[in-house]
Amino acid sequence: MASKTKSKGTYYERSVMNIFDTYGYASIRTLGSGGGTKKPKPDIITSNGTNTYAIEVKQRNSNVLYISWSQINELKRFSITFGATPLIVYKFGRRPFKVIEANSIQKNNSKNYKITITDATMKLTNYIGAIE
């Protein structure tokens, strides 16, 4: 039986897929993302034939989310090889999903990239609507 954390992650990944599907994208979850292999893999790959995205999905009930630089770099590396735009889609509690393009993230001296609930990033539905 899957752990509660893993099934929650799966639930949010499927929720993101459903949002993209609403806009005419075809999406797949990559099994074993985040572990079980030495090759980097995102949580989701989605495309509408014109735009392709490799997506890491994060959810926190707190007001802060930390993402390791190694995870961001692996997402970027996969995206270059696959020809996709790397996205981090995240959600705080019951708030809507938001998105940040991983290529816009600049490394700093800390061990992790920090996203807070007050960061001015775009809602996922607005992001997808803007590229249509």
Note the pLDDT tens digit of each residue in 71-121. Answer: 999 999 999 999 999 999 999 999 999 999 998 887 777 888 888 888 878
Judge whether residue 35 has pLDDT over 70: no
Q: Which amino acids are annotated catalytic?
A: 33
Rounded mean pLDDT of 8-28?
92
What percent of the chain lies above the pLDDT cut of 90? 58
CB-neighbour burial class of residue 29 (10 A; exposed 0-12, middle 13-18, buried 19+): middle
Which of the four pLDDT bands, split at 50, 70 and 90, describes residue 1?
very low
Cβ atoms 82, 108 nearer than 8 A: no
How far is 15 from 107, CA to CA, in rounded Å?
Answer: 29
Q: What is the mean pLDDT of the chain?
A: 87
Cα–Cα separations (whole angstroms), residue 27 to 11, 19, 42, 131: 14, 10, 12, 17
